[in-house]
Amino acid sequence: MEFREETGIGDRIARLRLRRKLTQEQLAERAGLSVDIVRKLEQGRRQTARLATLNSLARALDVEPSILVGQPVTFEVNNEAELPSVLALRQAISPVSDFFGSEPDPETPPSVAALRRSLKSTERIRRDGRMAEIGLLLPQLITDARAAAHFHTGADSAAAYSVLAEAYQVAATTLAALGREDAGFTALERSMAAASKGDDPHLEVVAISCLSWIFTKQGRLEDAERVAMSRAELMNPGFHSDPADLALWGILLLRAATAAVRQEKQAAVHELLNMAGAAAARIGEDRLDYATPFGPANMGVAKVNFYVEMEESTEALRTARSVPNLHTLPPTWRARFHVDRALAHTDVGNEEAATQALLRAEGDAPEWMRYHATSRRIVAELRSRERRRTSPVTELADRLNLDG
């Protein structure tokens, strides 16, 4: 099944604006933006926009930001006979048996140890950005964990519920990354319910972190900031706390900062980064808790991202040169770092360096790039400026299946 690019961001903005009977001037006023930005986006003279800009436009048009971005809605699959994986995930998260009951399964549910091995493998595949494999494996993991949680008793049941909660969280973040925030929210509700029956108190914190991210994807920025900060304040760890608690606290602060930067609350962003940075320094090295890294390297990557969001591209590039131990981070984190570098290089007019950064991102997580909207937008923009018929960026665009 071939991936097809939708119409551009400007086409979506124009279509939604006309549907709401707004002029370009009225839309710009509602969004708190200059009319020049709206015009350039709609005319295709500008093919990328800051997430803060997209969030402002989405609020003004009363849609989720992913509608403007044009996220792909299905995974690629290996052959036409396979079901689209988004549908498979929906069916696993909300099975029809919830309403009508189901026939007894003749197979004995897997043991807790087998479930944990499957979860660990699935999380690794997600971090690597192997999206098609996630779409094929995760629905079965959810189904198996549900069956095991109901089949086992006592400590084994509680452990199975914890695996189920984590599997739902992986589903939530995967679906939200594909622009299916509604299904992601449902998965997260299921995760919280499972976590309440599980044996791992950290899973509630992880769920709140995921919820903050999904709210951010929906454009509910104030809600995203509030839920992350409320849980972080409730934790309030000391600097002699367990490293896992410090890491999860730091991740919550970064979630809150992500929502704050898209509301253009720079002072709050810097304060949150300083707090998270202190926690990372205290830990001393990057940890990987619940499939999410946190430590000095991830803080460096996060700072680059926030500087790009605040349009401080020179500072972003300066910071990028000093990120420690980048190789210790998962492939998708490294790829996103290189995409941020590409955005910063583009802002300062160095298109060759931007292309090289994108090629580094592709080298780290090639399949992830095919689904990552920002990567696709910046490659499309650089290709539109390319005068040569064949070049590294046009070849990259072909590999990403970008039309045009």
C-alpha to C-alpha distance for 7 and 9, rounded to whole angstroms? 7
Q: Shortest CA distance to 146 belongs to which of 205, 198, 201?
A: 198
Looking at the structure, tell me whether residues 90 and 193 fall in a common domain: yes
Looking at the structure, tell me whether residues 58 and 77 fall in a common domain: no
Looking at the structure, tell me whether residues 54 and 166 fall in a common domain: no
Per-residue pLDDT tens over the stretch 129-181: 988 888 878 998 999 999 999 999 999 999 999 999 999 999 999 998 888 89
In this structure, is residue 283 part of a structural domain? Answer: no
Q: What is the pLDDT of residue 71?
A: 59
Chain position carrying tokens 């202190």:
278
Looking at the structure, tell me whether residues 151 and 78 fall in a common domain: yes
Q: 3-state class of 250 per DSSP?
A: helix
Per-residue pLDDT tens over the stretch 168-218: 999 999 998 888 899 999 999 999 999 999 999 999 999 999 999 999 999
Looking at the structure, tell me whether residues 136 and 62 fall in a common domain: no
Looking at the structure, tell me whether residues 111 and 196 fall in a common domain: yes
Of 111-115, 133-137, 286-290, 335-339, the range with the lowest mean pLDDT is 133-137
C-alpha to C-alpha distance for 209 and 228, rounded to whole angstroms? 6
In this structure, is residue 97 part of a structural domain? Answer: yes
Answer whether 262's CB lies under 8 Å from 51's CB: yes
In this structure, is residue 291 part of a structural domain? Answer: no
Is the pLDDT at 121 greater than 60? The verdict is: yes
Q: What is the pLDDT of residue 77?
A: 46
In this structure, is residue 4 part of a structural domain? Answer: yes
Structural domain total, the chain: 3
How many C-beta atoms surround the C-beta of residue 113 within 10 A? Answer: 10
pTM of the model: 0.85
Non-local (6+) Cβ contacts of 230 within 8 A are none
C-alpha to C-alpha distance for 326 and 343, rounded to whole angstroms? 18
For residue 342, report the phi and psi dihedrals to the nearest 5 degrees.
Answer: -60, -40
In this structure, is residue 324 part of a structural domain? Answer: no
Per-residue pLDDT tens over the stretch 6-56: 467 899 999 999 999 999 999 999 999 999 989 999 988 877 677 667 878
Looking at the structure, tell me whether residues 113 and 132 fall in a common domain: yes
Instruction: Work out the angle between the directed axes of helices 181-195 and 202-218 (0-180°, nearest 10).
Output: 170
Q: How far is C-alpha 343 from the geometric centre of its chain's CA atoms?
A: 17
Answer whether 203's CB lies under 8 Å from 162's CB: yes
Q: What is the DSSP string of 336-384?
A: HHHHHHHHHHHHTT-HHHHHHHHHHHHHH-HHHHHH-HHHHHHHHHHHH
Looking at the structure, tell me whether residues 168 and 113 fall in a common domain: yes
C-alpha to C-alpha distance for 402 and 404, rounded to whole angstroms? 7
Structural domain for 51, as ranges? 1-70
Looking at the structure, tell me whether residues 54 and 144 fall in a common domain: no
Half-sphere exposure in the Cβ direction for 95 (13 Å, CA): 14
- Which of these three, 144, 169, 200, is where a domain ends? 200
Looking at the structure, tell me whether residues 159 and 77 fall in a common domain: yes
Looking at the structure, tell me whether residues 83 and 195 fall in a common domain: yes
Looking at the structure, tell me whether residues 98 and 190 fall in a common domain: yes
In this structure, is residue 269 part of a structural domain? Answer: no
Fill in the DSSP letter of residue 121: H
Q: In whole numbers, what is the pLDDT of the chain averaged over residues?
A: 89
Amino acid (1-letter code) at residue 335: A
Residue 20 belongs to domain with CATH number = 1.10.260.40
C-alpha to C-alpha distance for 353 and 396, rounded to whole angstroms? 14
Is the pLDDT at 72 greater than 90? The verdict is: no
Q: What is the pLDDT of residue 7?
A: 62
361 pLDDT band, cuts 50/70/90, is: very high
C-alpha to C-alpha distance for 64 and 185, rounded to whole angstroms? 13
- Which of these three, 200, 232, 255, is where a domain ends? 200
Residue 338's alpha-carbon distances to 130, 282, 359, 386, in angstroms, are: 18, 26, 9, 20
Answer whether 58's CB lies under 8 Å from 220's CB: no
In this structure, is residue 29 part of a structural domain? Answer: yes
In this structure, is residue 16 part of a structural domain? Answer: yes
- Which of these three, 200, 216, 237, is where a domain ends? 200
